[in-house]
Amino acid sequence: EPEVTQTPSHQVTQMGQEVILRCVPISNHLYFYWYRQILGQKVEFLVSFYNNEISEKSEIFDDQFSVERPDGSNFTLKIRSTKLEDSAMYFCASSEGQLTSGMPDTQYFGPGTRLTVL
């Protein structure tokens, strides 16, 4: 069964450093997402991406964050200058985006990247 994959599984970085989290969405999916989960808290939406553009973003997704689809398979989240509070599990998700009835498709999640900022 197709699945979303993410690398690395765990990233440790120093405060102020740039990090890039990588995701390979399910191959026929058109919508891609990033969510984050601070330890012990709920999952929060960061951004969605469709047709090489940001579709929606949350207030968390400020200028320090950017997303890119550099090729036909990868989807990346870049944090330019990491802060301690960026430590969290980052989940990538994708959805088919084929339905035209107005029903949102199910979002399928990857296993997550645990980011630790020291």
Partner 1 sequence: AQKVTQAQTEISVVEKEDVTLDCVYETRDTTYYLFWYKQPPSGELVFLIRRNSFDEQNEISGRYSWNFQKSTSSFNFTITASQVVDSAVYFCALIRKGNQGGKLIFGQGTELSVKP
Which residues of this protein are in contact with partner 1, per CB under 8 A? 31, 33, 35, 41-45, 48-50, 55-56, 58, 89, 91, 93, 95, 97, 99, 102-112, 114
Which of residues 15 and 99 has its CB atom nearest to partner 1 in the complex?
99
Please state whether beta strands 43-50 and 53-57 pair in parallel, antiparallel, or not at all (unpaired): antiparallel
Residue 3 vs 18, nearer CB to partner 1: 3
Tokens of 4: 């979303």
- Closer to partner 1 by Cβ: residue 14 or 51: 51
HSE-CB of 27 using CA atoms within 13 angstroms: 2
Q: What does the block give as tokens for 45?
A: 């939406």
